[in-house]
């Protein structure tokens, strides 16, 4: 199934919807007590998902174009990000892929929606970069799981743009702040349930900036596949339902190009993963 958070005209409240082509079925209209956001649906487990699936077939259809999107995830327990998980990206940034994953946390204020505008002041950074990433959403608690069982804990997948202020990244010892400006973690527009993605390592991932394709790769190029990442992270802490893991970006970052390519005032950047969705962000830089 395919889900999204949508917002009705004249409202600011995100509502969970089942997406079928260019139509949306609002989940909270399906039955009394139906979940209004993704986190509630995940918390209800397989039984609640099955009930929503059954009810959606006869639910009222709304034109998807009549809504705007909210972030694909609204209140994850934590957003864990993985750095240097594609060899080409590590090399182009002049950084070494370590023997264990590089892990950092993204702040919740950075979450943003598809087709929204991310704004930052020029005084903070003029070296802001894009990073297309596969987002993994945990469905049931994962503690010390083996790689061969790790994908059983995945609820679904989404698209993440891990926007990064490169000058701040290279001036500080940690990466959370440079990637956590307001609006620097767009997600969505859709969340696809895990059964729709039998192999998360066989997905085409790409970025188009102002009409030019700048990233074009496959998730099969990850240094550490999704199952390995989940297993590694679960050894030190329980991964709670709703946790979002952003799994790293392939080569083609703007920082490494000659000349360098950064997000400019009024740039439009779309990152996408075939079979999951295409996530667009509009950029404004304030003088």
Mention every residue, 6+ apart, whose C-beta is less than 8 A from residue 189. Answer: 4, 69, 72, 113, 114, 115, 159, 277, 278, 279
Examine the pLDDT at 87 and tell me if it is beyond 80. Answer: no
Examine the pLDDT at 90 and tell me if it is beyond 80. Answer: no
Average pLDDT, stretch 14-31? 98
Q: What is the percent of the chain where pLDDT is above 70?
A: 96
Q: What is the pLDDT of residue 101?
A: 85
Reported pTM: 0.95
CA-to-CA distance for 16 and 36, rounded, in angstroms?
Answer: 5
Report CA dihedral (275, 86, 225, 281) to the nearest 10 degrees: -40
Window from 20-24, 83-87, 248-252 with minimum mean pLDDT = 83-87
Mention every residue, 6+ apart, whose C-beta is less than 8 A from residue 111. Answer: 71, 73, 74, 79, 185, 186, 187
Average pLDDT, stretch 56-65? 96
Q: Name the residue among 179, 169, 197 with its Cα closest to residue 276.
A: 197
CA-to-CA distance for 70 and 190, rounded, in angstroms?
Answer: 10
Q: What is the percent of the chain where pLDDT is above 90?
A: 92
DSSP string, 224-274: S-HHHHHHHHHTTS-B-TT-EEE----S--GGGSSS-----TT-EEEEEET
Q: List, for residues 165-211, the tens digit of each pLDDT value.
A: 999 999 998 999 999 999 999 999 999 999 999 999 999 999 999 99
Q: What is the pLDDT of residue 84?
A: 86
DSSP 10: T
Q: What is the pLDDT of residue 98?
A: 63
CA-to-CA distance for 153 and 155, rounded, in angstroms?
Answer: 7
Report CA dihedral (61, 29, 155, 245) to the nearest 10 degrees: 90
- Higher confidence at residue 256 or residue 68? 68
Q: Name the residue among 10, 69, 70, 72 with its Cα closest to residue 41.
A: 72
CA-to-CA distance for 221 and 287, rounded, in angstroms?
Answer: 39
Average model confidence (pLDDT) across the chain: 95
Q: List, for residues 94-108, the tens digit of each pLDDT value.
A: 666 667 889 999 999
CA-to-CA distance for 152 and 154, rounded, in angstroms?
Answer: 6
DSSP 142: B
Average pLDDT, stretch 7-31? 97
Q: Sorting pLDDT into bands at 50, 70 and 90, what band is 63?
A: very high
Q: List, for residues 107-148, the tens digit of each pLDDT value.
A: 999 999 999 999 999 999 999 999 999 999 999 999 999 999
Q: Are 103 and 265 in contact (CB under 8 A)?
A: no
């Amino acid at each position: 199934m395919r889900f999204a958070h949508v917002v009705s005209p004249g409202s600011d409240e995100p509502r969970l919807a089942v997406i079928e082509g260019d139509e949306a079925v609002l989940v909270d209209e399906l039955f009394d007590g139906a979940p209004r956001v993704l986190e509630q649906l995940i918390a209800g487990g397989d039984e609640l998902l099955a009930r929503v699936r059954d009810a959606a077939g006869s639910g009222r259809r709304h034109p998807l174009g009549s809504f705007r999107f909210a972030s694909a995830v609204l209140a994850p327990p934590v957003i864990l990000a993985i750095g240097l998980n594609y060899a080409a990206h590590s090399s182009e940034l002049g950084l070494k892929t370590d023997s264990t994953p590089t892990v950092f946390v993204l702040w919740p204020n950075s979450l943003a929606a598809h087709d929204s505008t991310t704004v930052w002041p020029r005084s903070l950074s003029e070296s802001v970069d894009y990073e297309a990433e596969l987002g993994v959403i945990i469905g049931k608690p994962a503690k010390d799981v083996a790689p061969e069982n790790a994908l059983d804990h995945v609820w679904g997948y989404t698209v993440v743009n891990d926007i990064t202020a490169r000058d701040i990244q290279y001036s500080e010892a940690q990466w959370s702040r440079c990637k956590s400006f307001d609006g620097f973690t767009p997600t969505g527009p859709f969340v696809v349930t895990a059964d729709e993605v039998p192999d998360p390592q066989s997905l085409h991932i790409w970025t188009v900036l102002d009409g030019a394709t700048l990233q074009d790769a496959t998730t099969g190029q990850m240094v550490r596949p999704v199952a390995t990442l989940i297993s590694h992270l679960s050894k030190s802490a329980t991964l709670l339902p709703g946790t979002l893991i952003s799994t790293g970006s392939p080569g083609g970052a703007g920082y490494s190009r000659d000349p360098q390519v950064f997000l400019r005032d009024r740039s439009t950047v779309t990152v996408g993963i075939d079979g999951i969705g295409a996530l667009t962000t509009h950029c404004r830089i304030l003088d």
